[in-house]
Amino acid sequence: MTQQWHLLRNPGLVPVPVSTSDEAEKYGLDAWRDFPRDQMPPWEDYSEVERVCGVLDGVPPIVAPYEVEQLRRHLADVCEGKAFLLQGGDCAETFIDNTEQHVLATARTLLQMAVVLTYGASVPVVKLGRVAGQYSKPRSSMKDALGLPVYRGDMFNSLEATEDARVCDPQRMIRAYANAAAAMNMLRAYLSGGMADLRAVHDWNKDFVRSSPAGERYDAIGREIDRALAFMSACGVHDEALHTASLYASHEMLAIEYDRALTRVYDGVPYCLSGHYLWIGERTRRLDGAHVDFLSRVANPIGCKIGPSASPEWVLELCEKLNPDNIPGRLTIVPRMGHAKVRDVLPPIVEKVTAAGAKVVWQSDPMHGNTFEAASGHKTRRFDHVVDEVLGFFEVHRQLGTYPGGIHVELTGEAVTECLGGAQEISEEALASRYETACDPRLNTQQSLELGFLVAEMLRH
C-alpha cells in the first residue's frame, strides 16, 4: 500500500475498526503474519490471543488520528532542523507502577528537560513519552538468571519470579490497554490543566539547580531563562503555549497482535492508535520480518533503533521500505551505538542516507549501547558514557553538516539508583539502595535534568 499522507480534512470523522478480512487485505494489515518474527512470545493457546484481539478490535483507541498527524508534522519540523525531539520514560512500564505519582513524575521530568532544551536549541521541543503503552520488552535470552522463562514486559507475563507468573497470558493485553488508556487520559488532563505552565516548570528547575551538587554549573542557564521569562511577561506575552504542552505517547511495537487490534482506518488511511509513535527495536528490525512489514502499512510516525552492526546500505534499504514516499517526519532513525563506537560507526550511515536524499530524523539513544553488569550483578550504565554518546552523536552531525534531531532516554521522575555517576556520584555500592526497574537501568530525576542541561549546552555551542 502506498502511504497516503494528508492533512486530516474532517477531525470529527470517526476512525473505524478493520472489520473484514477483505479490508485488512486491502491495506495489507495482516501480511506480517506470513513473515519471520523475532521475539515471538511463547503463547500457549493462540486461539485465546485471537479472542482477546477480538475484544480489542472494538474498543475506543488510546489516541486519535488527528493527534498522530499533529505529531508527524512536528517531527517534520525536527527533520528540517526547526525543532528538537525529546523522548523518554521507563524502560518497561508496569501495571503496578501505573500510578498518578509515577506517570506525572515522568511527565514533569520531561517538561523540565524540555524547558532547558528549548532554551539551548532556540527551537520548539517535541515531547514524546515512553508512556501509556510501553509494556513489552525484547530480551537477549529466553531464560533469566534463575533459569525461569524471562520477563517480557507486563503485556505478556509478570516480573514475579515463579514459573507460573512467567507464562504469557493473552488477557494481559486487555490490562495493558486499560492501563495505557488511563495513563493517557490523566496526562491529557494534567497537561492542559496547569501542570505544564512554563513558570511552574522553570521553578522546579530552579529547585534542581539549588539542590544539585553541580548546580553552580547550571546556574547561568537557569538565570538566563529567568530573564527571558521576565522579559516575555513584561512584554505582555501570555500565549496559551506558555501554559499547556502536548506530550505524545510512544512504545516499542513488539506485541504485533495488540497493535494490530488497535489499528483503525480513518478516511481511507490505516493508523495504529495504541500510541502516537511506535518504534522497532534493534532485535526485531530485520527487513523481511513481521515488525518492519506491519509498521510499513500504518501511517503513524515511526522509529527504528540501529546498533553498531547496521550497515549504511541496510539503513538506506530500511528507509526505502518504511518511508517509500520520503515523507519528512515519518521515519526516525535511532542510533544506539555505545559511546566508544558512535564516532566511528555513525558517520558512514549518516553520509549514505543523506547522499540518497532520504528524509529522516536522527535521534540518539545513548542508553542501550552502554549497558553493563556491575560486580553486584545489577545491570547499569555510567552517566558519563551516556553524556559522551550524545556528545559523539552531536560531533558526527556537526562534522557532516547534518542535524542532530533529538535524544531518546530511559528515565524516571523518581530518585532511583540504577545508573552510576552524575553529580550525585551514585556508586556501585549504592545501586542496591533503590534499584527498582523492571528491566534496564533508568536515569533518575537529577541525572535526567543534568543531562537536559548538558545537552542544552551542547546545542548552544
Ligand X SMILES: O=C[C@H](O)[C@H](O)COP(=O)(O)O
Ligand Y SMILES: C=C(OP(=O)(O)O)C(=O)O
Contact residues toward ligand X (CB under 6 A) are 91, 137-141, 368, 439-440
Contact region with ligand Y (CB under 6 A), list: 75-83, 190-198, 281-289, 315-323: 281-289
137 is in an annotated binding site: no
Q: Using an 8 Å Cβ cutoff, are 450 and 423 in contact?
A: yes
Q: Is 61 in the site for ligand Y (CB under 6 A)?
A: no
> Would strands 379-380 and 406-410 be described as parallel, antiparallel, or unpaired?
unpaired
User: CB-wise, 293 or 365, nearer to ligand Y?
Assistant: 365
Q: Using an 8 Å Cβ cutoff, are 166 and 146 in contact?
A: no
Nearest 5°: the CA angle 37, 288, 142 is 25
Rg of the chain in Å (alpha carbons) = 21
User: CB-wise, 94 or 263, nearer to ligand X?
Assistant: 94
- Beta carbon of residue 305, minimum distance to ligand Y (angstroms, whole number): 4
163 is in an annotated binding site: no
User: CB-wise, 69 or 293, nearer to ligand Y?
Assistant: 293
307 Cβ contact partners less than 8 Å away, ≥ 6 residues apart:
282, 336, 337, 368, 369
72 is in an annotated binding site: no
Residues 367-396 contacting ligand Y, CB under 6 A? 368
- Beta carbon of residue 455, minimum distance to ligand Y (angstroms, whole number): 18
Counted residue by residue, the chain has a size of 461
Residue 139 interface partner, choices ligand Y, ligand X, none, CB cut-off 5-8 Å depending on type: ligand X
Report the alpha-carbon distance of residue 416 to residue 446 in Å, rounded.
10
Q: What is the DSSP letter of 426?
A: B
172 is in an annotated binding site: no
Report the alpha-carbon distance of residue 87 to residue 74 in Å, rounded.
13
- Beta carbon of residue 408, minimum distance to ligand Y (angstroms, whole number): 7
Q: Using an 8 Å Cβ cutoff, are 56 and 177 in contact?
A: yes
User: CB-wise, 139 or 321, nearer to ligand X?
Assistant: 139
Q: Using an 8 Å Cβ cutoff, are 82 and 406 in contact?
A: no
Residue 336 interface partner, choices ligand X, ligand Y, none, CB cut-off 5-8 Å depending on type: ligand Y
Residue 223 Cα distances to 71, 109, 120, 132, 203, angstroms: 31, 19, 13, 34, 11
User: CB-wise, 139 or 352, nearer to ligand X?
Assistant: 139
Residue 305 interface partner, choices ligand Y, ligand X, none, CB cut-off 5-8 Å depending on type: ligand Y
34 is in an annotated binding site: no
Tell which one of 257, 282, 414, 450 touches ligand Y (CB under 6 A). 282
Report the alpha-carbon distance of residue 152 to residue 135 in Å, rounded.
8
Tell which one of 15, 88, 281, 413 touches ligand Y (CB under 6 A). 281
Report the alpha-carbon distance of residue 62 to residue 68 in Å, rounded.
11
Q: Total number of residues binding ligand Y (CB under 6 A)?
A: 10
- Beta carbon of residue 137, minimum distance to ligand X (angstroms, whole number): 4
130, three cell numbers = 515512553
418 is in an annotated binding site: no
102 is in an annotated binding site: no
91 is in an annotated binding site: yes
Which H helix or E strand runs over 84? strand 84-89
User: CB-wise, 158 or 284, nearer to ligand Y?
Assistant: 284
272 is in an annotated binding site: no
- Beta carbon of residue 282, minimum distance to ligand Y (angstroms, whole number): 4
Cβ-count burial of 173 within 10 angstroms (0-12 exposed, 13-18 middle, 19+ buried)? Answer: buried
Residue 140 interface partner, choices ligand Y, ligand X, none, CB cut-off 5-8 Å depending on type: ligand X
142, three cell numbers = 529466553
In the shown chain, the binding pattern of residues 292 to 311 toward ligand Y, with x for contact by CB under 6 A and - for none, equals -------------x------
Instruction: List 364's β-bridge partners, or say none.
Output: 407
Report the alpha-carbon distance of residue 363 to residue 250 in Å, rounded.
14
Specify binding-site residues for Mn(2+).
Answer: 91, 368, 410, 440
Specify binding-site residues.
Answer: 91, 130, 282-283, 305, 336, 368, 410, 440
Tell me which residues touch ligand Y (CB under 6 A): 91, 138, 252, 281-283, 305, 336, 365, 368
